[in-house]
Structure 1
């Protein structure tokens, strides 16, 4: 007679499945886009959120075991108005992953505003990205790994089309022309739902963006529109992603 497996066994199986799925997609992304190669020095930008934390865990697990032989380090850039809780969480993660050097850098984002200007997402992002690139360049890191997943990339694609009138997005790898480093996005094949499941399984889904400026972002509106368009289909979402490398120039202006 068939009997249902114990609930704890089901949880173990699900845990194994989600971790294997995310691991496999990261491996495919690294291979498909040559994101990490032998000799690379990779700096992981860590916010303390689910995406960059999963990325850190997965890349750290590969060191000395399989994949390209590279060096890893992680950095957390703390702005002068943001919550300190993610930093405390990352300090604990640094203890759990001694093979990955951690750096913490404070940036006076709000204090840099000129008189009469107001703080906004673009200004904050630009200031933190500038400091990130500067740190990478000064410390000889040739790759900067960001935790953007497929949903982030597809949302950006549609946002740029609707609000900027241009067909552009966030490619899995972007070499900088002015700096000796490239941006890489190893989570590009992973859906946000998979990252959430992984983070919950690993008990690291502790922090989300609480910045008041994100409430007015177009991203949340676009996210709902994508849900409506795809009806929750992973295949349709993946097709939006694939459209960025299957461009038919003869059928564009």
Structure 2
């Protein structure tokens, strides 16, 4: 048996309950794939996008719903080591990637200020654009359940709003394109366990600005991002209530509008006073 076959087998055997079944649950619950879809699987080189590619690849082989896949890697200006690692892992996992180069890192660096938001927006735009050129109608990203929970908390604690990371959404700038998140119900710790079980090594944050920052500051400073704070907070909550993540998630799935002071849908604002 080839190495990639052993790795893939572990997904549907050892990690069937914790990863594969939850992947399928999210796909079905949120109706992410339809007959005739052509999906661009967006690969950054990290653990999440790589396991996403393997899950979709295996699903495509056995699904009764016919859909096509393109595996795309957008190189925003990786250093040679990171670029090489992505290519080696794609070969190891039998993922036929198509790599396209951009100059996003340099462009964002020259703009000054906080680069993360601008970089993320530019990367998303390039992914949509290249997916369209390949005839795709959807892009798939590797966000997982933990990302969803952290986003909910960040919105409440730092954004002053109740919001979540949606399992799928229509693009506002690229007509006919959708974004899907097939790992929506998969927990990060299970992904990490799968990576370690198969002795895999993926790139972490390949951002050039993070590399520069790490050289100029203590490594601890880099980790004190808002998302890292949320991870630590959830970890502490879990010692009090092991079901805390699911309760946070359910809180945005079971919204009772009769108990909400105000909300908006698009540009339309609603207050409980209006119907009091």
The reply to whether residue 207 of structure 1 matches residue 203 of structure 2 is yes
CA distance in 2 between partners of 1:147 and 1:128 (Å): 14
For the 8 Å contact 1:110–1:119, the answer to whether it is kept is no
Could you say which residue in structure 1 is the equivalent of 2:6? none
Tell me what 2:26 maps to.
29
CA displacement 1:92-118 (0-9 Å, x = unmatched): 3444566x5421122212332486623
Matching residue within 48, 51, 68 for 1:51: 48
The two structures have a TM-score, normalised by structure 1, of 0.84
In the alignment, what sits opposite 1:156?
151
Aligned to 2:250: 242
Question: What is the alpha-carbon root mean square deviation over aligned residues?
Answer: 2.6
- Find the aligned partners of 1:75 and 1:208 in 2 and give their Cα distance: 18
Could you tell which deviates more after superposition, 65-74 or 33-42? 65-74
Q: Who is 1:79 aligned against? A: 76
8 Å CA contact 1:50–1:206 kept in 2: the answer is yes
Count the aligned residue pairs.
240
- Where in structure 1 are there 5+ consecutive unaligned residues? 1-11
Match of 2:181 in 1: 185
Aligned-residue offset at 1:46: 0.7
Q: Distance in 2 between matches of 1:153 and 1:92?
A: 30
Corresponding residue for residue 137 of structure 1: 132
Q: Is the 8 A contact 1:43 1:74 kept in 2?
A: yes
- Structure 1 136/13 Cα, relative in aligned 2: closer, same or farther at 3 Å? closer
The equivalent residue for 1:88 is 84
Asked whether 1:17 is paired with 2:14, we answer yes
Runs of 4+ residues deviating >6 angstroms: 12-15
